[in-house]
């Protein structure tokens, strides 16, 4: 039975990864990914024209700080977030809008296996695009503004990639469920964006209801959010990451429950 499920998930992956990264549905994903890449190359171009980089960003530690800011603001909190909103919310909604969901429902596939297959393929697609983006931006910043030792860079890069994968997991689970439960998923997307944006200024108890909070322990360096930031002790890595995976798993179980009850009604039936 397990091997059948695995073959079915592979079959779903074949179709869905293509949809996530090679179809017209993937266009917003690439447009969003292009934004931080463009910003990185504009910063490099401006520094080249001016002649030398600002002193706070020159040298290995400066490059590390510059990339940390770029990653937090340009990738994690904005473009990756909205890419996850777009891809994961449309996992089932997109099929309903294309009126093709019934083909999956008419296959001998358990609906929770379908959830697992579709979620995994979207996770692979978004993670792949943003991993490449992170590597390119990281490489460009460190190549231009100053390089630390290779081992230190490799450690930092791996940490950033892990954040990308975990963020896709967390946001992906939330937005897939939102896409299944909500008629208008834009509202939860904006609410979560607002909540994640004010996370730094929330009391430590409320901070825990946030994806970003659990990713803090993975960041290679801390960035100050300003004088009114409320500092909370980050969750230890060994609790934060498994807890995060369990949370995402529970969210997927909820999605599986919802999809089992789902009926196929297209707009003009």
Partner 1 sequence: MTPTSDRLVFDNVSKFYGEVLGINRVDLTIPPGITSLVGPNGSGKTTIMNLMTGLLQPSQGEIRMLGICPDNPEAMFRHVGYCTQYDSFPKGATGQQFLYNYLRVHGHPHADATEMTERSIQRVNLIEASTRRVAGYSKGMRQRIKLAQAICHEPTVLILDEPLNGLDPMARAEMIELFRELAATGQHIVISSHILHEVDLISDQVILLNEGYVVAEGDIEGVRTEMSGRPLQILVRCDKAGLLASRVFEHESTVEARMHDDGGGLMVSTKDADAFLLAFNRIVLDNEIRIESVTPADADVQAVYQYLITQEGES
Q: Do 201 and 229 form a contact (C-beta atoms < 8 A)?
A: yes
Residue 38 near partner 1 by CB under 8 A: no
Residue given tokens 């073959």 in the structure block: 7
Binding segment toward partner 1, per CB under 8 A, in 16-24, 119-127, 170-178, 219-227: 16-24
CB of 25 vs partner 1, minimal distance in Å: 8
Q: Which of 28, 233, 203, 243 is nearest to 125 (CA)?
A: 28
Among 51, 108, 203, 226, binds partner 1 (CB under 8 A): 108
Rg (CA), the chain: 20
Interaction with partner 1 in 172-211: which residues (CB under 8 A)? none
Residue given tokens 């996992």 in the structure block: 91
Among 10, 48, 61, 204, binds partner 1 (CB under 8 A): 10
Q: Which of 155, 140, 113 is nearest to 11 (CA)?
A: 113
C-beta neighbour count of 34 within 10 angstroms: 12
CB of 187 vs partner 1, minimal distance in Å: 23
CB of 197 vs partner 1, minimal distance in Å: 34
Structure tokens at 248: 């995402």
Residue 7 near partner 1 by CB under 8 A: yes
The CA distance from 225 to 227, in Å, is 7
Cα→Cα distances 9→4, 148, 241, Å: 9, 42, 25
Q: Which of 12, 164 has the CB closer to partner 1?
A: 12
Binding mask 219-248 for partner 1 (x = CB under 8 A): ------------------------------
Residue 27 near partner 1 by CB under 8 A: no
Residue 258 near partner 1 by CB under 8 A: no
Residues that bind partner 1 (CB under 8 A): 4, 7-8, 10-12, 14-15, 19, 23-24, 98-100, 102-111, 260-261, 263-266
């Amino acid at each position: 039975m397990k091997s059948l499920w695995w073959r079915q998930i592979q079959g779903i992956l074949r179709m869905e990864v293509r949809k996530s990264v090679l179809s017209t549905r993937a266009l917003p994903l690439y447009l969003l990914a292009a934004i931080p890449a463009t910003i990185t190359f504009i910063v490099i171009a401006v520094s080249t024209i001016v002649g030398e980089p600002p002193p706070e960003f020159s040298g290995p530690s400066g490059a590390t700080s510059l990339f940390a800011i770029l990653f937090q603001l340009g990738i994690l909190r904005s473009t990756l977030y909205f890419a996850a909103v777009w891809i994961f919310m449309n996992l089932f909604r997109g099929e309903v809008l294309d009126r093709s969901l019934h083909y999956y429902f008419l296959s001998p596939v358990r609906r929770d296996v379908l959830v697992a297959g579709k979620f995994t393929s979207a996770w692979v697609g978004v993670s792949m695009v943003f991993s490449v983006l992170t590597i390119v931006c990281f490489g460009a910043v460190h190549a231009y503004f100053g390089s630390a030792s290779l081992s230190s860079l490799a450690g930092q890069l791996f940490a950033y990639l892990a954040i990308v994968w975990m963020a896709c997991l967390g946001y992906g689970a939330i937005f897939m469920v939102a896409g299944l439960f909500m008629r208008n998923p834009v509202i939860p997307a904006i609410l979560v964006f607002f909540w994640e944006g004010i996370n730094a200024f929330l009391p430590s108890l409320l901070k825990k209801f946030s994806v970003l909070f659990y990713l803090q322990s993975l960041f290679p360096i801390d960035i100050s959010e300003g004088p009114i930031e409320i500092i909370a002790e980050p969750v230890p890595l060994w609790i934060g990451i498994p807890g995060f995976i369990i949370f995402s798993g529970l969210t997927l179980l909820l999605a599986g429950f919802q999809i089992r009850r789902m009926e196929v009604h297209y707009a003009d039936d």
